[in-house]
Amino acid sequence: MDLGLKGKKVILTGGSRGIGRAAPELFAQEGCDIAFFSRNAEQVAATVESLGAHGGKVVGAALDMTDHDAYRAWLASAAEELGGCDIFVPGASASGAGATGDWDACYNIDIKGTVIGCEVLEPWLEKSDAGSIVFMSSTAGVETFIVPQAYNSIKAALLTYAKQLGQALGPKGIRVNSVSPGPIAFPGGNWEAIKAAAPGLYDATEAQFALGRWGGPEEVAKTIVFLASPASSYTTGTNVVIDGGYTKRVQF
């Protein structure tokens, strides 16, 4: 299937490891031009080199997005440098810094990072003939998960915002969808740390996957890329759960 992504301009936040690293790699393989940032300058440099090998334009920066003014300026400059924005994937999360219990960090990165990005990039997305936004939520936002914490509530709030934003931006030709990954394991990720510190929790979580195994970042990234692409042109306001059968609720 041709996803219709060749030449599309993609802006992502948090793009140097895990799902945030796998998604730009797939977009690059599809022929997209990409702009992204991450806090780690060395990881940014390595990602720029890898993505550039696919032949498209790549704009990478080291940025602390909790400086919201600097974040706004970067978004505008990234769109200018790419020559537009067709797709926005706000993937940066406080979870990446191990701050799932920090209300301020989760609000400032997951909520404000997403809201600011959508507001700044809306004019560019409206000019596109395939404007698309894909939010990063989590199964922690749709079903009780471990303990009450900021991350779970914030990810649930993003689902409501995405649904309503999809209604508001639909007349402008901009689609808005969400993906909700379940627990995903990768080197250097949160679940690797949990395996070392709390092996009982790790094993109990692994036992709950209907497919009998952990998912990888690339398996989530494939859904993000499809949902963002023109191949999914009539999908807006939906939330796709990608969890190997981890959640047990019936989704209507």
Tell me the two tokens of residue 172: 């402008």
Give domain status of residue 250, yes or no.
Answer: no
Q: How many CB atoms lie within 10 A of CB 148?
A: 9
Q: Which domain holds residue 123?
A: 9-242
151 tagged catalytic: yes
Give domain status of residue 252, yes or no.
Answer: no
155 tagged catalytic: yes
* Catalytic one of 151, 178, 202, 246: 151
* Catalytic one of 16, 155, 178, 229: 155
Per residue in 45-71, is it b (16+ CB within 10 Å) or e — as a string?
eebbeebeebebebbbbebebbeeeeb
One-letter amino acid of 131: G
Per residue in 6-42, is it b (16+ CB within 10 Å) or e — as a string?
eebbbbbbbbbbbbbbbbbbbbbebebbbbbbbbeee
Give domain status of residue 203, yes or no.
Answer: yes
153 tagged catalytic: no
Q: Which residues contact 57 (CB under 8 A, 6 or more apart)?
A: 33, 34, 81, 82
Number of domains in the chain: 1
* Catalytic one of 138, 178, 180, 229: 138
Give domain status of residue 83, yes or no.
Answer: yes
Give domain status of residue 196, yes or no.
Answer: yes
Give domain status of residue 219, yes or no.
Answer: yes
Give domain status of residue 248, yes or no.
Answer: no
* Catalytic one of 16, 132, 137, 229: 137
CATH number of 34's domain: 3.40.50.720
Give domain status of residue 198, yes or no.
Answer: yes
Helix/strand/coil for 7: coil
- For the chain, 252 residues long, give each residue's pLDDT as a single digit of tens: 899 999 999 999 987 788 989 999 999 999 999 999 998 899 999 999 999 999 999 999 999 999 999 999 999 999 999 999 999 999 999 876 677 778 999 999 999 999 999 999 999 999 999 999 999 999 988 888 777 788 899 999 999 999 999 999 999 999 999 999 999 888 877 788 888 888 888 889 999 999 999 999 999 999 999 999 999 999 999 999 999 999 998 877
With vertex at residue 94, the alpha carbon angle to CA 10 and CA 179, rounded to the nearest 5 degrees, is 50
246 tagged catalytic: no
